[in-house]
Amino acid sequence: MLALDIRNVNKKYEHFQLKNVSFQMEKGYIMGFIGANGAGKTTTIKSILNITRIDSGEIHILGKNMSEHELQLKQEIGYAFGDISFYTRNTIKTLTNVIKKFYQNWNDDTYYKYLSKFNLIEDKKIAELSTGMRVKYNLALALSHGAKLLVLDEPTSGLDPVARDGLLDIFRELVVDGEISILFSTHITSDLEKCADYITYMHNGQIINSAEKEEFINTYLLLSGTLEQLETVKDKLISYKTNSFGFTGLIHTRDYDHSLNIRNALPNLEEIMIYFSKTEGAYV
């Protein structure tokens, strides 16, 4: 079953639009959702959650159309982000007692299991929690009402490397049994290299590529060569940079002629993002 099936979603604003956004995520996996600021990730996430009303297209979650089954599906979706900016003077216990009333399948035993696992103390005020602990509290809330799809929006932003690594371990544990799926939007691409199964890359309101992580990376090559060599491949490059030694540029693997003998290597996710974002006129 597909956890997430986005089909030809369009949403037009005065200065920005989502253009035929389509991608799918299999149940039981982690999908990294990447793109520069302003690429359309937040608008897409809001569309998935039906917070933003799309102009056209369809969004299916766990096999059901979101527009037709919104109330039911929102019982099965957990949304976690990098902070909690509401009711910060209240304790965890007070806030949980409000939130749990909205969920039909809330399970106190599950909730307390995750409080213990995440070392969360009920009597602590939200304002007293570190950024990492706030993320863990969000996760505890989402998992306690039986969420099958977790939408994580910059959950590791602002965390130190140790705290981030601990959260990534938790994400990997959650999908082991194949019941929970995670859409993980982040700018910290190194986190996705550690935990994501699939990558979806958005640029300027469009999906550039959505594939299994290794397949995604193998779609591109990073070339390094002389300025003379640049002239032989310039028209095929997605974008490039020059310096006193020559150039570096990103190219689709399918477009590279290996007989040119230009030094090449697989890029990482950050390099792919940088080169696609370098020019609005990128060859996609």
| pLDDT, tens digit, 9 for 90 and up, residues 97-138 | 999 999 999 999 999 999 998 899 999 999 998 878 888 888
Q: Is 109 exposed, middle or buried (0-12, 13-18, 19+ CB in 10 A)?
A: exposed
Is 83's pLDDT higher than 70?
no
Is 14's pLDDT higher than 50?
yes
pLDDT at residue 70 in the model:
95
Q: How far apart, in whole angstroms, are the C-alpha atoms of residue 90 and residue 216? A: 44
Question: Of all helices (H) and strands (E), which one includes residue 279?
Answer: none
Identify the residue whose tokens are 């697989």.
266
- Length of the chain in residues, anyone? 284
Backbone angles phi, psi at 216, to 5 degrees: -60, -50
Query: In terms of C-beta distances under 8 Å and separation of at least 24 residues, what long-range contacts does 12-20 make, across chains too?
Result: 12/55, 16/40, 16/43, 16/205, 17/205, 18/43, 18/44, 18/47, 18/54, 18/205, 18/206, 19/205, 19/206, 20/57, 20/206
Is 282's pLDDT higher than 60?
no
Q: Is 274 exposed, middle or buried (0-12, 13-18, 19+ CB in 10 A)?
A: middle
Averaged pLDDT, 132-150? 88
| pLDDT band, residue 280 (cuts 50/70/90) | very low
Q: Which residue has the higher pLDDT, 139 or 73?
A: 73
The yes or no reply on domain 2-216 and CATH 3.40.50.300 is yes
What does pLDDT average to over the chain?
Answer: 91
| pLDDT band, residue 85 (cuts 50/70/90) | low
Q: Count the neighbouring beta carbons within 10 Å of the beta carbon of residue 233.
A: 19
| pLDDT, tens digit, 9 for 90 and up, residues 20-79 | 999 999 999 999 999 988 899 999 999 999 999 999 999 999 999 999 999 999 999 998
259 and 274 Cβ atoms separated by less than 8 Å: no
Exposure of 155 in the CB half-sphere (CA atoms within 13 A): 29
pLDDT at residue 187 in the model:
87
Handedness of CA 166, 168, 170, 173 (dihedral sign): negative
Averaged pLDDT, 11-23? 95
Q: Count the neighbouring beta carbons within 10 Å of the beta carbon of residue 45.
A: 19
Strand bridging mode 198-203 / 220-225: unpaired
DSSP state of 52: S
> Tokens in use for 92?
């965890």
Is 281's pLDDT higher than 50?
no
Q: What are the boundaries of each domain within the chain?
A: 2-216, 220-277
pLDDT at residue 153 in the model:
87
Cα distances (Å, whole numbers) of residue 83 to 132, 152, 156, 239: 9, 11, 10, 35
> Tokens in use for 145?
């009402």
Most confident of 132-136, 151-155, 218-222: 218-222
